[in-house]
Every structure is written in C-alpha cells, then in structure tokens.
Amino acid sequence: MSALPFIAIDGMGGDAAPGIVIDGLEMALEHQPEVRFLIFGDEGKRVHRTAAALR
C-alpha cells in the first residue's frame, strides 16, 4: 500500500498570498481529496489561520 501524497506549499508565494494560495489548495482538494499539504509561511500574515479552514 502506498503512502498518501504529501505536498509542501509556500503559503506566501505570489502577490495575492496567502488567499490565492489557499484558494488553489481548496480547488486541488476538490479533485484529489486524499492529498495532504504542509503549508509554510508568515504567521503574521494569517497563513496558518487561513490554512486551518482546509481541515
């Protein structure tokens, strides 16, 4: 049995981050719900609080 896919993401990548990054991850989960993400970024810019919505 293979392990679940696990992808590291830069939550602060791009000018519209973290919102646009999280939007993209939500879209990805619609198509591949078994994928898990490890999101890195600046807590001061709400990456971690925004990413919690994906759970």
Structural domain including 40 reads 6-54
Better pLDDT: 1 or 11: 11
Indicate the pairing of strand 6-10 with strand 36-40. Answer: parallel
Q: pLDDT of 13-39, one tens digit each?
A: 888 888 888 899 889 989 988 888 888
Q: Please check whether residue 18 lies inside any domain of the structure.
A: yes
The domain total for the chain is 1
Answering whether pTM is above 0.75, one says: no
Residue 1 falls inside a structural domain: no
Instruction: Say what the pLDDT of residue 47 is.
Output: 60
Confidence of residue 53 (pLDDT cuts 50, 70, 90): low
Give the whole-angstrom CA distance, residue 49 versus residue 39: 11
Distance CA 12, CA 22 (A): 10
In tens, the pLDDT along 33-51 reads 888 888 888 766 666 555 5
CA distance 48 to 12: 11
Residue 22, in any domain of the structure:
yes
14 is a domain residue = yes
pLDDT at 31: 92
